[in-house]
Structure 1
């Protein structure tokens, strides 16, 4: 398991503790990407108590460099990957292991990712659960891309595309990895039992900053020469949707899980964006 981190002192302990519960995970590589808060000390404390936890340092700033360092240092045949604000659910690792044992057709797998710390968490969960009940995941459907917050890949597949993946920090590295796998003729599956939750705090990110974040999507598609007007409209549509729901996030008290109008007068925080323009 690889967890790239940068200044994640508030969420890291919960993330690691949930990974340690899963006996199927042989190693947990937490990659510190120049954190300036107490992230490094948290990793070291876990590493001192648990042999499965390893501290990895990556000086080159950018999640792509942290991911590469973690993937390169991994020793298992399967590499899991989540973010520091990801909470894997019970049975996550067992689902991943079972998937790769059942099939040799896919080289990577994506899971179902729910939201927490979001005013839309219940709606999002209802929509995903409805798809599960409709059987859309029963056949381990094929998808075009993995999300870095909830994925796993065969080590052999990583080695096959290692020299192909870009190290540009201004693109979405998980989309780039997915497209590189595709160019090598490898496919990605998705399963419903590989469940995790990820923070919805990115919804509080101001619209202009989020627009810059979405430019990374355009950049990676241009890099692979597959940008078209449909994809561009999809990306811009996502930016517009974010702008529409952003006021609700500004009112949302993440700790109390309720709307508070006084938050309009506070400073907007949001998550640190994992791309650098």
Structure 2
């Protein structure tokens, strides 16, 4: 698509759903309540990634009620495959990736539109993501949440902690939750063979496909962005703060790190180092807490590189 072609409706929203019968309604409702929805959004694509529950029936119910919603089934599991299916069914200049546990505040789309009009060089951006739990957290769970915040696709612990004047992204790269990304470089990525990482697949905790995608966008000459006024409430189960889950999460990050490192591309390695840093941080925290010790975490980029080679090459 030619970036110079003007489309009155900038966005296609792509919602990914897997076994989401208990949460997909709230996600869809938050999208349908967006300000200027009909003015800015061409389609709302909901990709059913081979769910085994009543997810499909719920989506089809909303499809009958709202003209913008389209149900699409993708039988090959993996978040990367679902993203690819969504992109291939998109014709707008921008796509928005939304997970099946992301609740958008009502001004989210209008804030995304404002951000694009003011930042012509940006190719990928997202906003503030706040964790939301239905149950009260223990002190231990609060500590774990603070440590694992980035990997749980959150930027801030609470709305009060957001600095609405700071437009610097809290992390090195935008992540998949509420990711707004330019369509034309994504087409180039598809022509180049798409992504090497599959992302979340069923109940697995593999990751990194969103970072791989953003890095490609950067290499196409675009910059990253962040709009703190685009707020998502991320519905998270307390089970994701259990020790067993965090261990699996660290393993998934490490596997993605290895796959990216094996590509042997210097710019890709930057992501691998970031993943390794997170993996080590979680493991240090889990085991230090278990034995009632605290590790001070300090790891330079050079030490990350040495550790990466040691872990995966020795």
TM-score (normalizing by structure 1):
0.77
Find out whether 1:25 has 2:41 as its counterpart: yes
Among candidates 156, 171, 187, match of residue 159 of structure 1: 187
Counterparts of 2:163 and 2:269, CA distance in 1: 31
* Contact in 2 for aligned 1:141/1:190 (Cα 8 Å): yes
1:190-269 pair list within 5 angstroms:
190-201=226-237, 202-204=240-242, 206-219=245-258, 221-222=260-261, 223=263, 224-225=265-266, 226-227=268-269, 231=274, 232-241=276-285
Q: Which moved more, 1:48-57 or 1:66-75?
A: 66-75
* Contact in 2 for aligned 1:111/1:150 (Cα 8 Å): yes
How far did residue 126 of structure 1 move? 5.5
Counterparts of 1:129 and 1:217, CA distance in 2: 33
Cα deviations across residues 69-102 of structure 1 (Å, max 9, x unaligned)? 1122122221111100000112000011111112
Aligned length: 243
1:10-159 pair list within 5 angstroms:
10-22=22-34, 23=37, 24-117=40-133, 119=137, 120=142, 125=156, 129-132=160-163, 135-137=165-167, 144-159=172-187
Find out whether 1:179 has 2:215 as its counterpart: yes
Note closer, same or farther for the CA distance 1:107–1:230 as it changes in structure 2 (3 Å cut): closer
What 5-or-longer segments of structure 2 have no aligned partner?
1-12, 150-155, 199-205, 291-314
What 5-or-longer segments of structure 1 have no aligned partner?
247-277
Greater C-alpha Rg: 2
How far did residue 159 of structure 1 move? 1.6
How far did residue 131 of structure 1 move? 4.8
Note closer, same or farther for the CA distance 1:230–1:30 as it changes in structure 2 (3 Å cut): closer
SS in 2 for 1:178: helix
* Contact in 2 for aligned 1:4/1:66 (Cα 8 Å): yes
SS in 1 for 2:230: strand
Among candidates 185, 188, 197, match of residue 224 of structure 2: 188
* Contact in 2 for aligned 1:210/1:239 (Cα 8 Å): no
Note closer, same or farther for the CA distance 1:176–1:243 as it changes in structure 2 (3 Å cut): farther
Note closer, same or farther for the CA distance 1:245–1:5 as it changes in structure 2 (3 Å cut): farther
SS in 2 for 1:99: helix
Cα deviations across residues 51-76 of structure 1 (Å, max 9, x unaligned)? 11100111111111001111221222
Counterparts of 2:51 and 2:97, CA distance in 1: 19
Deviating 4+ runs (over 3 angstroms)? 120-131, 140-144, 223-231, 238-246
How far did residue 35 of structure 1 move? 0.6
Counterpart in the other structure of 2:303: none
How far did residue 216 of structure 1 move? 4.0
Counterparts of 1:15 and 1:244, CA distance in 2: 37
SS in 2 for 1:111: strand
Counterpart in the other structure of 1:252: none
